[in-house]
Copies of this chain bind each other. A is one copy, B any other.
Amino acid sequence: ENRGRILINCPDQPGIVAAVSDFLYSQGANIIESNQYSTNPSGGTFFIRVEFECPNLKEKERSISKDFTEVANKFSMKWKLACVSEIKKIAIFVSKELHCLQELLWEWQSGDLITDISLVISNHEAARVTVEALNIPFYYIPASKENRLHAESEQLKILAENNIDLIVLARYMQILTPSFVKTYENQIINIHHSFLPAFIGAKPYEQAYKRGVKLIGATSHYVTNDLDEGPIIEQDIMRVDHRDKIENLKKIGASIERSVLATAIKWHLEDRIIVHGNKTIVFS
């Protein structure tokens, strides 16, 4: 189809919206959806996401990009043009807990998650049957603190060969090295099983149980080199009470994790997220 999206950020100043919309109009495009945000009209950063219809977009993509460079330079823009018809490729990393993987596979099957799940990588065999039943390649790559570099070089090779656009850590219980993270900057989404920044690190449900909280949560975020400190994309919570043992917190938490991760991935796939420093701007 002919649907495209353009994401821009640049120093705020008058005339940006006019320049962008003039450009699109001159290309014969009709703006379908447009969202913008400025950290500060004087001296701040301006962000805009425009979704548009443009006849023959695919054929014209290259020339549009070339022509837009002039506008972009004038306003010192960082920008990105995406054709909606070019489906993004994702790789899912998983360990032994499969509920997040299963939610994604399910939503993908039912057409709610429009992506190409190119492959699944795991440091356990637990997911193999489920994944291969859907004809998705499954790679078992043992990973631990000891063989991290070796495992990652194997993973990176597979990711590169498959032109992966987004890596989803669907309860993958290994830490990634800075070099891996850098290769896929703002392209790795993790689900942390707590309402960050509460309960950073290991065993958050155990921590939550011990603290006696009345709500538990989950957080999806882009991965950076600071554990659980990356830009937050989405969070949600559910109510618990004194009767809920750790086992129960995990079950309740699992359903939050499923929906929070799926939501974050959808927003990423629809180019709705702009990372700005350690925060996200989400045009949902």
Residues of A within 8 A of B (CB): 12-18, 21-22, 24-25, 28-38, 41, 53, 99, 102, 106, 110, 112, 195-199, 211-215, 217, 231-237, 241-243, 251, 255, 259, 276, 278-282, 284
Contact = CB atoms under 8 A, between A and B. Distances in A.
8 contacts: A14-B29, A17-B24, A17-B34, A18-B24, A22-B22, A33-B36, A213-B232, A213-B235
The number of times this chain is found in the oligomer is: 4
Among A14, A213, A214, A231, max chain B CB count under 10 A is at A214
Given A21-B21, A25-B18, A112-B251, A214 B234 contact: yes
Contact of A198 (B25, B30, B36, B197): B197
Given A212-B232, A212-B278, A17 B21 contact: yes
Given A211-B232, A231-B212, A22 B18 contact: yes
A215 B242 contact: no
Given A18-B24, A211-B232, A212-B280, 15 more contacts: A13-B30, A14-B31, A21-B22, A33-B36, A37-B243, A102-B106, A197-B199, A197-B213, A212-B231, A212-B278, A213-B235, A215-B217, A241-B284, A242-B282, A255-B259
B32 A14 contact: no
A249 B12 CA distance: 24
A contacts with B: majority SS? mixed
A235 B259 contact: no
A268 to B, nearest CB: 15
B197 A215 contact: no
Given A35-B35, A255-B259, A259-B255, A197 B212 contact: no
A211 B32 CA distance: 24
Nearest to A232: B212
A99 B106 CA distance: 10
Contacts of A231: 212
A214 B235 contact: yes
Contacts of A21: 17-18, 21-22
A195 B212 contact: no
B214 A232 contact: yes
A22 B199 CA distance: 45
Most interface-central of A14, A33, A281 (chain B CB within 10 A): A14
A14 B54 CA distance: 10
A241 to B, nearest CB: 7
A25 B21 CA distance: 12
A20 B280 CA distance: 28
6 nearest interchain CB pairs?
A212-B279, A18-B21, A198-B198, A18-B25, A17-B21, A14-B30
